C-alpha cells in the first residue's frame, strides 16, 4: 500500500471457489496502479497485487491446478501516475509489467495517440510476446510501410497442467483510433483466412479463451463478442468457451450457453475478477479437494435476459463455474492469500513495486497538495445539483476561475458538458494527482460576446433536451498534440457504469448477503449478473446513482439586484461549441464559429478549473486535511 492510503474496514466473508482451471482478471486499470489513496475499499497498490499473485500462484501449485492471469486493456488515461508524463503511460507501463500475465489485449486508450500506439507495438508487445493478443488491431510499421498486427492474432498453448487452450483478443469495432492503426471490424475478421485457419489449426482444444476490450454482455451496444462467439460456436458446437471482456467499466457475468460464460471485471483497480471452472471430463487434472469447489452450471438466474441471437450448444454439460468480484484492497488480498504455503504475504518484488510507485508519485509531484476538499463530491451518487454533487461545486469553480480580466464585470454564463468530469472527488487533500483523476480533459474556453439574454437563457435547456454530445474527431490535430483526453469517447468508457435495466434497479434494498455479514456493511458495489447477486466478494450497501443532464451552466457577474442582464458573454468549453451555436440559432440567433473567440488564453484548459479553485477556495485545514471514507458514505446514518 502507498503510505497515505487507507485499509478496508472489513475483509471478505467467504473463501474463493476453485476449479480445475482458474483465472484472475484485471481490466480498464487506466493508470490507477497506486490504488485509490482516499477510498478505503480500493487502497491496495500494484505492489500488493504482485504479492497477491505470487501467493495465489503458490496456492494453485499446491492444489495442482492452473491459474491464468488476464488483462483486457485500457492501461492509462485516468490517474496521475500514467497521465502526468508525456506521452502518458511512460512510467506506469513498466510498473504494470511486473505482472506476468498469461493473456492480454489492447484497449481503445492505447490507440488514440500515435506515439502510445507505437509504444505498445515496439515495447509492450515485446515484453509479453505471444501472450499479447491484438487479433483485429494493426499498426503501420514505419520500417517497411506495411500494416502489421501490434501483438499476435491468436495463441494456442498448453497450460502447466496440460489444458489445451486456443485464445484470441478482440477489441470492439472502435473507429476513433489515430490513423497509424487499423481496427478490423468483427464482421470482416470472422471472414478472414487467418481466423478460419486458426480455427482449423487443430481439433484438439479443451477450452477457448476469448479475451477482448469488448463488453462481455453481447447486448451492450458496443459489444461485438456475440459475433466472435457465433463464429466459433458454429465450428465448435461442443467446446467450452470462456470470455473475458472490458471497456464498459462494469462488474458483469454473462451466460452465453451451457459451456460458455463471460466475465467483466470493472475498472480503475477497484475490482479483481475471479473465475473458476471445473468438471472437464476428459481432462486429467483432479479438482482440488481442500478448498471449496466451483459448483454452478452455466445457467442464468430467473429474470436474467438471454441474448436470443446467440447460438446454444445443444449437448449436455458437466462444467461447473464460480465467479467473484474482489474489492481491490490489502485485506482482500491477505484474506484469500492466507492458507497458501507462503506465509509472508509481501514478496520482495511486491515491496519493490510499491516503493517504485511511491518514487514515481514523488518524482511527478503527484502528492503535492493544492487544497483541502471539505467533503466528497460525486458524479452520480447525489441528485444532480444537490449539495455533494460535483457539478454544483464545478459551477462555483467555473464562476470563480473562468474570468477574463478585461471582461470580468460583464455578465456571463459558462457551459461545460457533464462528461468533462471523469471521477468523483473524495474528501481530503486535493492533490496534483486529483487534477488528473477528476477532470483530465484539455478543452479551451471560447465565447461569443454580448449575446442578447433572451437568446442566451434558452441555451442550457436546448442542449439538455438534445442528444448526448458525442464528439466528432479531427484526426489531423490529434496526432500533433498529446492530448488524448480531449478526444476520448466519453460516453463509452468514462461515464458512470451503465445499469442493466433488466437486472439492476436503482436504489434497491440490500441483498440478503449483506444482512448475513458480521460487519456493518459500507457503501460499494452491489452487483447483479446472470448468476444473481452473490458475485461481490465483500458485501456492501448499494450506492444509488442518479441521471445526469448533458451540460452544466454557471452564472457570474449578474446584476446584483436580481434583474436580468440585457446581454451576456456566452462562454463554453471548446468541446461543445457546435451545440452552443446550434442552440442559440434555434431561437433566432445567426451565429457561426466565426463569431467565437478564445475567452481565456489557449494555455488555460478545462482541467485547470478544479485545481485552480482548490488553490483559491480550499486552503482551510490544508496542513491537516481530514480524509473521508469514499463515495456514498455521507447518506448513511452515523
Ligand atoms: Zn476503459
Ligand atoms: Zn475502453
Same domain for 222 and 202? yes
Cβ–Cβ under 8 Å, residues 310 and 229: yes
Mean pLDDT value across residues 426-452:
95
Question: How remote is the CA of residue 76 from the centroid of ligand 1, in Å?
Answer: 9
Given 361, 389, 412, the domain boundary residue is: 361
Mean pLDDT value across residues 574-587:
96
Same domain for 185 and 221? yes
Same domain for 381 and 351? no
Same domain for 476 and 562? yes
Asked whether residue 346 is assigned to any structural domain, the reply reads yes
385 pLDDT band, cuts 50/70/90, is confident
Question: How remote is the CA of residue 14 from the centroid of ligand 2, in Å?
Answer: 31
pLDDT tens digit string along 185-202?
999 999 999 999 999 999
Mean pLDDT value across residues 11-29:
97
- The b/e string for 395-414 (b: 16+ C-beta within 10 A; e otherwise) is bebbbebbbbeebeeebbbb
Ligand with an atom nearest the CA of residue 265: 1
Mean pLDDT value across residues 250-268:
98
Given 361, 396, 411, the domain boundary residue is: 361
Question: How remote is the CA of residue 516 from the centroid of ligand 2, in Å?
Answer: 36
99-108, 451-460, 518-527, 548-557: least confident range: 518-527
Ligand with an atom nearest the CA of residue 249: 1
CATH number at residue 345: 3.60.21.10
Is a pLDDT exceeding 70 seen at residue 94? yes
Question: How remote is the CA of residue 247 from the centroid of ligand 1, in Å?
Answer: 5
Question: How remote is the CA of residue 108 from the centroid of ligand 2, in Å?
Answer: 5
Question: How remote is the CA of residue 28 from the centroid of ligand 1, in Å?
Answer: 4
Mean pLDDT value across residues 202-213:
95
Asked whether residue 156 is assigned to any structural domain, the reply reads yes
CATH number at residue 378: 3.90.780.10
Rg (Cα) of the chain, in Å, rounded? Answer: 25
> What percent of the residues of the chain are helix, what percent strand, and what percent coil, each to the nearest 5?
30, 20, 50
Question: How remote is the CA of residue 423 from the centroid of ligand 1, in Å?
Answer: 13
Rounded distance, CA 198 to CA 594, Å? 54
pLDDT at 249: 95
Rounded distance, CA 579 to CA 589, Å? 13
For 37, the domain range is 21-361
Ligand with an atom nearest the CA of residue 105: 2
Same domain for 330 and 400? no
pLDDT at 485: 34
pLDDT at 468: 72
Rounded distance, CA 80 to CA 95, Å? 14
Closest of 445, 397, 394, 489 to residue 580, by C-alpha: 445
pLDDT tens digit string along 277-289?
999 988 889 999 9
Given 361, 376, 392, the domain boundary residue is: 361
What integer best gives the mean pLDDT of the chain? 91
Neighbours of ion ligand 2 (CB under 5 A): 74, 107-108, 247, 493
What are the cell numbers at 216? Answer: 462481455
Same domain for 275 and 317? yes
Closest of 549, 507, 551, 515 to residue 534, by C-alpha: 515
Cβ–Cβ under 8 Å, residues 392 and 380: no
Rounded distance, CA 390 to CA 425, Å? 7
Is a pLDDT exceeding 90 seen at residue 134? yes
Asked whether residue 519 is assigned to any structural domain, the reply reads no
Is a pLDDT exceeding 80 seen at residue 571? yes
Is a pLDDT exceeding 90 seen at residue 20? yes
Asked whether residue 155 is assigned to any structural domain, the reply reads yes
Question: How remote is the CA of residue 279 from the centroid of ligand 2, in Å?
Answer: 33
Same domain for 238 and 386? no
Rounded distance, CA 462 to CA 483, Å? 29
Asked whether residue 13 is assigned to any structural domain, the reply reads no
Is a pLDDT exceeding 90 seen at residue 17? yes
Mean pLDDT value across residues 90-104:
98
pLDDT at 281: 85
Same domain for 432 and 581? yes
Ligand with an atom nearest the CA of residue 26: 1
Same domain for 566 and 442? yes
Asked whether residue 634 is assigned to any structural domain, the reply reads no
Same domain for 221 and 278? yes
Is a pLDDT exceeding 70 seen at residue 84? yes
Same domain for 340 and 372? no
Ligand with an atom nearest the CA of residue 212: 2
Rounded distance, CA 128 to CA 343, Å? 29
Same domain for 79 and 52? yes
Provide the sign of the torsion angle of the four alpha carbons 568, 569, 572, 574, taken in this order. positive
Number of domains in the chain: 2
Rounded distance, CA 514 to CA 526, Å? 9
Ligand with an atom nearest the CA of residue 78: 1
Question: How remote is the CA of residue 520 from the centroid of ligand 2, in Å?
Answer: 34
Question: How remote is the CA of residue 267 from the centroid of ligand 1, in Å?
Answer: 7
Closest of 485, 507, 635, 503 to residue 31, by C-alpha: 485
Question: How remote is the CA of residue 490 from the centroid of ligand 2, in Å?
Answer: 10
635 pLDDT band, cuts 50/70/90, is low
252: β partners: 264
Question: How remote is the CA of residue 339 from the centroid of ligand 1, in Å?
Answer: 34
Asked whether residue 627 is assigned to any structural domain, the reply reads no
Ligand with an atom nearest the CA of residue 106: 2
Asked whether residue 232 is assigned to any structural domain, the reply reads yes
Ligand with an atom nearest the CA of residue 171: 2
Ligand with an atom nearest the CA of residue 213: 2
- pTM of the model as a whole: 0.91
Q: Is the peptide bond before 483 cis (omega within 30 degrees of 0)?
A: no
Question: How remote is the CA of residue 497 from the centroid of ligand 2, in Å?
Answer: 12
Cβ–Cβ under 8 Å, residues 22 and 65: yes
7: β partners: none
Amino acid at each position: 500500500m502507498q503510505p497515505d492510503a487507507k485499509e478496508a474496514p472489513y475483509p471478505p466473508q467467504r473463501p474463493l471457489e476453485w476449479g480445475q482451471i482458474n483465472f484472475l482478471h484485471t481490466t480498464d486499470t487506466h493508470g490507477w496502479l497506486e490504488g485509490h489513496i482516499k477510498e478505503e475499499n480500493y487502497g491496495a497498490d500494484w505492489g500488493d497485487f504482485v504479492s497477491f499473485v505470487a501467493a495465489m500462484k503458490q496456492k494453485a501449485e499446491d492444489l495442482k491446478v492452473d491459474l491464468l492471469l488476464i488483462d483486457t486493456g485500457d492501461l492509462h488515461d485516468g490517474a496521475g501516475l500514467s497521465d502526468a508524463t508525456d506521452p502518458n503511460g511512460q512510467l506506469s507501463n513498466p510498473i504494470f509489467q511486473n505482472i506476468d500475465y498469461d493473456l492480454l489485449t489492447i484497449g481503445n486508450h492505447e490507440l488514440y495517440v500515435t506515439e502510445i500506439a507505437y509504444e505498445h507495438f515496439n515495447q509492450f508487445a515485446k515484453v509479453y510476446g505471444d501472450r499479447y493478443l491484438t487479433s483485429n488491431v494493426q499498426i503501420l510499421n514505419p520500417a517497411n510501410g506495411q500494416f502489421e498486427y501490434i501483438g499476435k492474432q491468436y495463441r494456442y498453448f498448453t497450460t502447466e497442467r496440460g489444458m489445451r487452450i486456443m485464445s484470441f483478443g478482440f477489441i470492439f469495432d472502435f473507429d476513433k483510433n489515430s490513423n497509424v492503426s487499423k481496427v478490423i471490424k468483427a464482421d470482416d475478421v470472422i471472414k478472414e483466412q487467418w481466423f478460419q485457419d486458426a480455427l482449423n489449426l487443430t481439433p484438439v482444444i479443451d477450452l477457448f479463451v476469448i479475451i477482448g476490450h469488448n463488453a462481455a454482455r453481447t447486448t451492450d451496444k458496443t459489444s461485438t463478442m456475440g459475433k466472435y462467439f457465433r463464429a466459433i460456436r458454429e465450428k465448435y458446437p461442443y467446446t467450452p468457451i470462456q470470455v473475458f471482456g472490458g471497456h464498459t467499466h462494469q462488474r458483469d457475468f454473462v451466460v452465453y450457453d451451457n459451456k460458455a460464460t463471460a466475465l467483466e471485471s470493472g475498472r480503475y483497480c477497484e475490482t479483481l475478477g475471479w473465475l473458476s471452472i471445473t468438471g472437464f471430463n476428459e481432462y486429467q487434472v483432479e479438482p482440488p479437494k481442500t478448498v471449496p469447489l466451483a459448483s454452478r452450471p452455466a445457467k442464468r438466474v430467473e429474470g436474467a435476459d438471454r441474448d436470443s441471437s446467440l447460438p446454444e450448444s445443444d449437448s449436455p454439460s458437466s462444467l461447473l463455474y464460480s465467479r467473484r468480484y474482489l474489492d481491490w484492497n490489502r485485506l482482500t488480498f491477505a484474506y484469500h492469500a492466507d492458507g497458501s504455503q507462503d506465509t509472508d504475504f509481501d514478496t520482495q518484488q511486491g515491496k519493490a513495486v510499491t516503493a517504485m510507485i511511491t518514487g514515481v508519485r514523488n518524482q511527478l509531484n503527484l502528492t503535492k497538495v493544492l487544497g483541502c476538499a471539505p467533503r466528497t463530491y460525486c458524479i452520480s451518487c447525489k441528485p444532480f445539483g444537490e449539495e455533494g454533487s460535483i457539478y454544483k461545486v464545478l459551477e462555483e469553480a467555473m464562476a470563480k476561475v473562468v474570468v477574463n480580466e478585461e471582461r470580468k464585470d460583464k455578465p456571463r454564463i459558462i457551459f461545460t458538458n457533464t462528461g468533462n468530469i471523469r471521477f468523483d472527488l473524495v474528501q481530503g487533500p486535493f492533490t496534483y494527482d486529483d487534477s488528473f483523476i477528476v477532470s483530465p480533459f484539455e478543452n479551451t474556453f471560447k465565447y461569443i460576446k454580448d449575446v442578447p439574454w433572451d437568446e442566451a437563457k434558452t441555451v442550457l435547456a436546448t442542449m439538455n433536451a438534445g442528444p448526448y454530445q458525442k464528439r466528432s474527431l479531427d484526426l489531423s490535430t490529434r496526432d500533433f498534440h498529446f492530448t488524448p483526453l480531449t478526444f476520448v469517447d466519453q460516453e463509452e468508457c468514462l461515464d458512470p457504469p451503465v445499469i442493466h435495466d433488466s437486472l439492476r434497479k436503482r436504489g434497491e434494498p440490500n441483498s440478503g448477503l449483506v444482512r448475513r455479514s458480521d460487519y456493518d456493511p459500507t457503501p460499494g458495489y452491489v452487483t447483479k449478473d446472470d448468476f444473481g447477486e452473490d458475485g461481490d466478494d465483500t458485501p456492501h450497501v448499494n450506492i444509488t446513482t442518479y441521471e445526469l443532464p448533458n451540460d452544466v451552466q454557471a452564472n457570474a457577474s449578474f446584476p446584483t439586484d436580481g434583474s436580468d442582464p440585457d446581454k451576456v458573454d456566452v462562454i463554453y468549453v471548446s468541446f461543445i461549441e457546435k451545440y452552443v451555436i446550434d442552440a442559440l440559432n434555434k431561437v433566432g440567433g445567426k451565429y457561426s464559429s466565426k463569431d467565437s473567440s478564445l475567452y481565456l488564453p489557449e494555455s488555460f484548459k478545462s482541467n485547470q478549473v478544479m485545481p485552480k479553485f482548490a488553490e483559491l477556495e480550499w486552503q482551510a485545514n490544508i496542513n491537516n486535511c481530514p480524509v473521508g471514507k469514499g463515495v456514498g458514505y455521507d447518506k448513511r446514518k452515523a
